[in-house]
Structure 1
């Protein structure tokens, strides 16, 4: 028997994978006011279905079945985890999550926030995945070593969205950049952050931390990169663009050669989020060696509510935090920023850090040596989306 039900006011981008009932759900783009659900192995009625509000979004609950989000289908906000308690007892969220994890139905990476809802005498955990975002980090050792480049990997099947780094403040450490790790994989899956001592060196112990914002839900992820020419130049700026129809969700850049004399000053996504511009410069001692610059853009189909937030501090190179905050109800995808350093100055960008609650992006810049006549605007950028 083929039964067709109308589901009104259902707004969800993506598709669902059906478990035991064999029900198929068409793909939604968020504009559909009516969608059809077809079921071919038993009849179901409107009482078998519920629309459950979660954070002012709507979620489909097909009672009696387990329906999971297909991450390859597009950006999605909600997932339905299957029935976990046939007793009918009302569970707390913590109890429901614990039982789901014990049964292997959830991993810790799935959990950002959720509610417990009652469905036909059984309990179902409904999770708002907020595009499945999770922040992870990895640090180098703490010692005096001329070069450090830790790599952090996204957990499970999640993929890289945004990158960040922080290093121990030491005026003799130069930030060398952020690199998306991809290899032969279909999508980027980690961040490499690099820094090195300048030619003067230091005996002070230091370390660098790499950050990766990861997601299982963003669709259309790809990494775009562009390389400058190689020459000896006091400063260099280079821009990379996302493929047509895609938007910047993360950014990075790196330097080739120029060891001990060249540093990344700024990584800047543009306001329309279709380009990333990276600026690097020689330090105050300069070099005659050739060096080049590579700009990276992590691009994707635009998630709902994608926006860039900018914060600035004139002459903010005294290591003060410059913080860009996502608007209420949005979450941080990635951080970027730096300083308008000019040519051969003592300014050092040393921190581009996402907050652990994925709400703010913090950038810090310091100086090495004399600051006489030094001017420069420090900028922090937060790329945010609904969540």
Structure 2
């Protein structure tokens, strides 16, 4: 058993959104094999008060409050020539906390979750495992392509500077981890990094199961459900596109169809969609499983997506028919158990067909659950992490230090 410093950009509990789900399962898995020291940011009250829950996995935990306004981070980025993403998470207390743990504890490795956090790890310290999850620079490059004027310039600048930073971090890391083979290949191509590994997302297939105990919200029989964090740009753009370009086509055939947007922190733009015919915005819900279970169709209409989408895996695990954009489906080995559409007309047609043919919808959902259970359970995903970590602990920490 060795000591590992686990550094995360957001408190990895409760595991109720994409990044927290992944970071929680990584933390939990590492804690089953090592002593883990957690250092993480808290963004608000919801991130606090989880000491007892995290104490089941972390030998020690340090939570640093982060409340830097975006405008301040942007100004710092322009003045310093750095990416906004890094300036937003640049924090002296976090650096001190990291150095403090490395000084106090016999840290054998530093596991960093999310690229913005690598700036807090001092050079020349213990071996670094960098979980980029997705390639953020590619995400901003995608934003830039759709941008205009000064915003396009700013997004292109962010993509360029982040790519340089990502390459620098990868050069000093024992391994750089990505959530899918496609992301890993893109990273290798764009940065020239050599030590790149894939550790996929998984899913709790016992918890996300049609027969698991959960409350049901009582949706209508023609409910089309989307779940996600609703202040996250790709989710906002995806549901806006669906409500404006896809749903009207569906309602031409099924006037009773309702698009249900489920997720916390809906922006004003998302809330405004709720005033459109056939659109419902729930805000935060205690448990998304009931909403998924009652969906006639689960949709993932993302226009920009990286890696493996938990929302797709969750819909599959709940044995619901899933219709996804090509972007949302790209990283998932679904073997044809979800419907994939390249444009608004195709997505609307796929959904209308499933609404009309409930037997086919049931068969597709059952096949999806079989596929996700066989392919994406967390134990299978974590075996890849074990292979990455094993070379670091072939000898005791003290011997390596000597």
> What interval of TM-score do these two structures reach, taking the shorter chain for normalisation?
under 0.3
Instruction: Give TM-score, length-normalised by structure 1.
Output: 0.23
Q: 1 or 2, which has the higher strand percentage?
A: 1
Q: 1 or 2, which has the higher helix percentage?
A: 2
Structure of greater Rg: 1
